[in-house]
């Protein structure tokens, strides 16, 4: 019954043709054959594409879906270059390091911003490149997949026993080889006190074929050695979820890990409560727990996706009326300068102003003192 409903939903919104993306391919070949150059893009999409200085990378299977969705669609806007990326008057308010990673950087590709958890960044590469990426001013699309001073990482963890959770980020950690992932997991399980491991990835959207038997085996093995392994998949629009993407997520879940979502609120992509509701409906059918809805960062080169907090709060307030409370993601914002994530929908201080937003978006004042 569950699978039947999911199939109907995927067919209804993506079309059953989403299965018809050519024969299965090896993920390393998919990576090599990504569209990267201006001429590759123009040839493939058969239209004029703006020339920009930022790196571009689109896996071919995703490119087929984008081409079907047409110019200006949410898929197109997320991955195809736009002349707006280099328009000074739009981009001037953007930052090269919008969430302040540099302030918290440690030796060993570590960002330690919160007391009991840290980011581990073993690669700067992703399987594709999102035009709004908060790391777009650092991201690379060259062939250097692996770059880690790992002994420094282990030393840091041995000196910081307060760290309970390590978050593989990047780039995309699932671009590491299976052997490299297995090596890291072995080291973390045998030589540290880490209890939880989290992977932040966009692999299901970019390259679902990366969820190989070997990766499945590694996740199965280590899901028994840590209290919790979470995989947070980055998905912004319901059209990203087709049969193949959902099958790769099911496979991750079958390995004994939990799969959660993170979504970036983006102008021209998903800045509509009904689109977000449709996304959440599909995530739930695929067994993914909605986790984060990020307010867009002020990214240099990505300001055309930005919206002010008031607009974001209104969208989130409407969304709360459309989906059950347990399915509502946390709406969060990263404060520039490395000051961390905070709830984007809360009062502005510990001290209660007495003002609350009703489900209709009205401000009411109630004295709780
Ligand atoms: S997957 Fe994440 S890190 Fe990679 S390009 Fe997209 S937003 Fe940036």
CATH of the domain at 207: 3.20.20.70
Is residue 21 situated within a structural domain? Answer: no
User: What sections of the chain are H helices per DSSP?
Assistant: 2-14, 27-32, 38-45, 60-69, 74-79, 88-91, 150-159, 178-191, 203-206, 213-223, 243-254, 273-285, 309-322
Integer Cα distance of 127 and 22 in angstroms: 18
Please determine, for residue 17, whether its predicted confidence score (pLDDT) is greater than 70.
Answer: no
Please determine, for residue 137, whether its predicted confidence score (pLDDT) is greater than 80.
Answer: yes
Q: Does 222 share its domain with 170?
A: yes
126 CA: nearest ligand 1 atom: 4
Please determine, for residue 31, whether its predicted confidence score (pLDDT) is greater than 50.
Answer: yes
Integer Cα distance of 210 and 204 in angstroms: 8
Which of 125, 171, 173, 270 most suits a substitution to test ligand 1, by most atoms within 8 Å of the C-beta? 171
Token pair of 133 as six digits: 């990426």
Q: Does 297 share its domain with 277?
A: yes
Is residue 295 situated within a structural domain? Answer: yes
> What residue numbers bound the domain in which 54 lies?
26-88
132 CA: nearest ligand 1 atom: 7
Among protein residues, the one whose CA lies closest to atom 2 of ligand 1: 133
CB-based contact 263:276 (threshold 8 Å)? yes
Over residues 244-248, mean pLDDT: 97
171 CA: nearest ligand 1 atom: 3
Is residue 138 situated within a structural domain? Answer: yes
Could you give phi then psi for residue 161, rounded to 5 degrees? -70, -10
Token pair of 245 as six digits: 């993407």
Query: Across 59-63, 101-105, 106-110, which has the greatest mean pLDDT?
Result: 59-63
Q: Among all chains, which residue has been given the structure tokens 């060993």?
A: 108
Integer Cα distance of 299 and 94 in angstroms: 5
Q: Does 316 share its domain with 170?
A: yes
Residue 227 half-sphere exposure toward CB, CA atoms < 13 A: 7
Q: Does 33 share its domain with 151?
A: no
Query: pLDDT higher for 321 or 88?
Result: 321
Final residue belonging to a domain, choices 88, 112, 137: 88
Among protein residues, the one whose CA lies closest to atom 7 of ligand 1: 133
- Residues above pLDDT 90, as percent of the chain: 69
Final residue belonging to a domain, choices 52, 70, 88: 88
Residue 58 CA, ligand 1 centroid: distance in Å: 12
- Report how many domains make up the chain: 2
Integer Cα distance of 281 and 286 in angstroms: 9
Q: Does 209 share its domain with 176?
A: yes
Integer Cα distance of 242 and 11 in angstroms: 8
Structure confidence at residue 225 (pLDDT): 97
Residue 302 CA, ligand 1 centroid: distance in Å: 12
Is residue 180 situated within a structural domain? Answer: yes
Is residue 48 situated within a structural domain? Answer: yes
- Residues above pLDDT 70, as percent of the chain: 88
169 CA: nearest ligand 1 atom: 3
Mean pLDDT in the chain? 89
Structure confidence at residue 97 (pLDDT): 83
Q: List Cα–Cα distances, 40 to 47, 63, 82, 94, 128, in angstroms.
A: 11, 11, 16, 29, 15
Which of 31, 96, 126 most suits a substitution to test ligand 1, by most atoms within 8 Å of the C-beta? 126
136 CA: nearest ligand 1 atom: 8
Residue 251 CA, ligand 1 centroid: distance in Å: 22
Is residue 14 situated within a structural domain? Answer: no
Is residue 159 situated within a structural domain? Answer: yes
Integer Cα distance of 146 and 41 in angstroms: 26
200 CA: nearest ligand 1 atom: 2
Residue 359 CA, ligand 1 centroid: distance in Å: 33
Residue 135 CA, ligand 1 centroid: distance in Å: 7
Give ligand 1 pocket residues (Cβ under 6 A). Answer: 126, 129-130, 133, 135, 139, 172, 202, 234
Among protein residues, the one whose CA lies closest to atom 3 of ligand 1: 171
Q: Does 59 share its domain with 126?
A: no
Over residues 214-227, mean pLDDT: 98
Is residue 3 situated within a structural domain? Answer: no
Over residues 213-219, mean pLDDT: 98
Query: pLDDT higher for 231 or 18?
Result: 231
Residue 2 CA, ligand 1 centroid: distance in Å: 31
Residue 161 CA, ligand 1 centroid: distance in Å: 30
Over residues 137-147, mean pLDDT: 58
Residue 238 has a CB neighbour count (10 Å cut-off) of 22
Q: Does 208 share its domain with 356?
A: yes
Structure confidence at residue 145 (pLDDT): 47
Which of 135, 169, 263, 297 most suits a substitution to test ligand 1, by most atoms within 8 Å of the C-beta? 135
Residue 364 CA, ligand 1 centroid: distance in Å: 39
Final residue belonging to a domain, choices 55, 70, 88: 88
Integer Cα distance of 50 and 9 in angstroms: 35
Residue 125 CA, ligand 1 centroid: distance in Å: 9
Token pair of 200 as six digits: 């932040």
């Amino acid at each position: 019954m569950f699978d039947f409903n999911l199939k109907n939903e995927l067919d209804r919104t993506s079309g059953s043709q989403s299965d018809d993306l050519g024969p299965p391919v090896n993920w390393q070949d998919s990576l090599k054959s990504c569209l990267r150059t201006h001429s590759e893009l123009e040839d493939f999409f058969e239209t004029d594409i703006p020339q920009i200085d930022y790196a571009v990378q689109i896996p071919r299977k995703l490119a087929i879906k984008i081409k079907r969705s047409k110019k200006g669609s949410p898929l197109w806007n997320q991955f195809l270059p736009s002349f707006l990326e280099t328009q000074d008057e739009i981009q001037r308010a953007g930052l090269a390091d919008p969430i302040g990673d540099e302030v918290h950087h440690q030796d060993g590709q570590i960002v330690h911003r919160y007391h009991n958890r840290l980011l581990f960044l073993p690669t700067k590469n992703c399987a594709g490149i999102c035009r709004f990426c908060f790391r777009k001013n650092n991201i690379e699309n060259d062939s250097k997949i692996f770059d880690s001073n790992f002994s420094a990482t282990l030393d840091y963890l041995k000196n910081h026993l307060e760290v309970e959770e390590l978050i593989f980020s990047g780039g995309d950690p699932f671009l590491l080889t299976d052997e490299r992932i297995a090596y890291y997991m072995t080291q973390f399980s045998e030589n540290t006190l880490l209890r939880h491991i989290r992977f932040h990835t966009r692999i299901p959207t970019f390259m679902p074929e990366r969820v190989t038997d070997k990766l499945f085996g590694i996740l199965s093995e280590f899901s028994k050695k840590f209290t919790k392994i979470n995989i947070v998949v980055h998905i912004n629009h319901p059209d990203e979820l087709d049969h193949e993407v959902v099958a790769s997520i099911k496979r991750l879940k079958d390995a004994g890990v939990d799969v959660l979502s993170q979504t970036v609120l983006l102008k021209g992509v998903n800045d509509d409560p009904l689109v977000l509701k449709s996304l959440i409906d599909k995530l739930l059918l695929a067994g993914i727990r909605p986790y984060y809805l990020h307010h867009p960062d002020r990214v240099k080169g990505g300001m055309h996706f930005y919206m002010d907090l008031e607009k974001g709060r209104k969208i989130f307030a409407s969304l709360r009326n459309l989906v059950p409370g347990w399915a509502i993601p946390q709406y969060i914002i990263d404060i520039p300068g490395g000051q961390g994530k905070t709830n984007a929908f809360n009062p502005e201080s510990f001290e209660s102003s007495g003002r609350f937003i009703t489900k209709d978006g009205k401000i009411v004042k109630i004295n709780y003192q």
